[in-house]
Structure 1
Amino acid sequence: MTQKDGDRSNDITPVAVAGSTRPKSFIDVVSIVQNYFLAEKNGNDLPENLLTLKGKIVISEVGFKGAFVSGLISILLTPFFVGVIERYIPIFGSYEFTLFDQAFAVVLTLSFSMGYSLILASIGRYYIGKLSKRAINWLMAGLTVAGVLKIIIAFVFYNTLYASILEEERVARFLLWFYPQIGYPALNKIYRFLMGVRPVLLTSASFVVLTTFLMITIPWAFIFAASRKTRKMIERERIWR
């Protein structure tokens, strides 16, 4: 439908409806948002119900799944890397810890959460129109829910390990099952190592909170910055038309 014959500047551009073709990956969601963005950029007034409830849910699922999987990986690996930072666990087999070892551990610890956050941030340039914003908001809602769930799981997991599974008497009784097949000096070394790394679990819980906060706030910062840049670019294009 056009305003007048020969003028197709306000044609309703065919737009994929989120939910009609279920997006399975971040790329699928980007394609949907791009369609919304291009249509709204050209001045088309898209109906609000184009993004249905089902579409909102499936978009949020994409954000949730990606963040949740990276979160689980982060939960499992964070104690190891924190142990390196606090000089309990050798990352390259040597207890002669260097600044490079610790920096390498920090980078690896942050890479899982920050990597996914930066990928999400790339969609910020499309945070302009009504439907584009709504789709991105639902994507970020899924990310936020996954982040909160990640913190809960991390606290339960780490505190269970600290207070119950790695409790001193429990660990000692468990290790004694292997005596005399394994000599006492070796068992004592294992015991001292486990007791030494035990406090790392509490530090890891705090570290997960920090990384989750960054995982949520970094995409929003990039989204707002990129959207402002895109908005200025669109305004310049309109001036020179």
Structure 2
Amino acid sequence: MARAKPRSLIEAISEIQILATVVKTGREIPENYLLLDRRIAYFEVGVKGALADGLISALFVPMSMGVLSNLVPIFGTLTPSLFDQLFSVLIAMAYGLGYNVMIGVNLGNCYYGKACRQAIDSIYSAMVTFNILKVILLFLLFHGLYGLLTPDWVDAKSDQLWPAWRVLMNQATAVEVQTWILNVREVLLLSSWFVVFSTAVSLIIPRIFFVRGSKYAELEHRRNMLYDGY
């Protein structure tokens, strides 16, 4: 009977931890133990994480930068406290940072043995590849929107859409919407660079855990060979 493929990061981590436990008892798992369908399944787990992070970044990074620039209100105020600013940044980075920390903490000590490394690298390579694509797309998107959303363009489009808007809002509210759009425009360039920075930081975290974990696992293996014979 074929094994069920891991559908989530937690399932993938659990499988790899089992493999690592076997390897650390001295039983070598052949490199071809992970068949193509398994490696693709691990790759898909990494892709899902990167895609979700991309969507969250596209929505919340501009909002966070707007809060830091005192252009977008948070908790009903345009003068956020330090806590409010940190909270807005945390929201923008929470998913990607949390996803990578979870991988690093749980799989760092598993980065040992050919099969385990192959499984972990399948997840991590997908995350790196699609996060690079995410950065490129969001960088182009934010710069493109900055060039598009000029005051003249927003004003012209507002006049065109006013017959439809007047059913939903009064003129004062429509002006507030225009102002909000122009405020968001002012932070799009900053947002594009923040995406680059936050993505780089997030992706470095698992690699640090992998390097440290592999060294610790090698040291543990040597101790086992010396004292326990495996």
Structure 2 Cα separation of the partners of residues 86 and 79 of structure 1? 10
Count of aligned pairs between the two proteins:
222
1:236 to 223, 226, 229: 223
The AA in structure 2 aligned to 1:118 is V
Of the structure 1 ranges 147-156 and 207-216, higher mean CA displacement relative to structure 2 is found in 147-156
Structure 2 Cα separation of the partners of residues 35 and 108 of structure 1? 33
Asked if 1:162 corresponds to 2:132, the answer is no
Structure 2 Cα separation of the partners of residues 42 and 97 of structure 1? 54
Asked if 1:55 corresponds to 2:44, the answer is no
Shift, 1:174, TM fit: 2.1
Structure 2 match to 1:140? 124
Structure 2 Cα separation of the partners of residues 196 and 40 of structure 1? 55
2:209 to 210, 222, 232: 222
Asked if 1:201 corresponds to 2:188, the answer is yes
Check 1:31–1:195 CA distance in 2 against 1; reply closer, same or farther (3 A cut): closer
Of the structure 1 ranges 130-139 and 221-230, higher mean CA displacement relative to structure 2 is found in 221-230
The AA in structure 2 aligned to 1:145 is T
Instruction: Spell out the pairing of 1:55-204 with structure 2 (5 A cutoff).
Output: 55-121=38-104, 122-164=106-148, 166-176=149-159, 177-178=161-162, 181=166, 182-183=170-171, 187-204=174-191
Residue 67 of structure 1 contacts residue 116 of structure 1 at CA under 8 Å; is this kept in 2?
no
Structure 2 match to 1:10? none
Residue 36 of structure 1 contacts residue 129 of structure 1 at CA under 8 Å; is this kept in 2?
no
Residue 96 of structure 2 contacts residue 199 of structure 2 at CA under 8 Å; is this kept in 1?
yes
The AA in structure 2 aligned to 1:108 is I
* Runs (5+) with no aligned partner, structure 1: 1-15
Q: Based on CA coordinates, which of the two structures has the bigger radius of gyration?
A: 1
Alignment RMSD (CA, Å): 2.3
Residue 97 of structure 2 contacts residue 202 of structure 2 at CA under 8 Å; is this kept in 1?
yes
Matched residue of 2:196: which SS? helix
Shift, 1:114, TM fit: 0.4
Structure 2 Cα separation of the partners of residues 44 and 233 of structure 1? 14
* Runs (5+) with no aligned partner, structure 2: none
Shift, 1:74, TM fit: 1.8
Check 1:62–1:94 CA distance in 2 against 1; reply closer, same or farther (3 A cut): same
Identity of aligned residues (%): 31
Matched residue of 1:152: which SS? helix
Q: TM-score, normalised by structure 1?
A: 0.82
After superposition, the C-alpha distances for 1:164-186 in whole angstroms (9 at most, x for unaligned) are 2x232221012224279544x65
Structure 2 Cα separation of the partners of residues 187 and 45 of structure 1? 67
Shift, 1:189, TM fit: 4.7
Q: TM-score, normalised by structure 2?
A: 0.86
After superposition, the C-alpha distances for 1:19-57 in whole angstroms (9 at most, x for unaligned) are 843211122222332233233223323322211222221
Shift, 1:187, TM fit: 4.7
- Structure that is richer in helix per residue: 2
Of the structure 1 ranges 33-42 and 79-88, higher mean CA displacement relative to structure 2 is found in 33-42
Shift, 1:196, TM fit: 3.1
After superposition, the C-alpha distances for 1:68-116 in whole angstroms (9 at most, x for unaligned) are 1122112211100110011111111112332222122122222121011
Check 1:188–1:34 CA distance in 2 against 1; reply closer, same or farther (3 A cut): closer
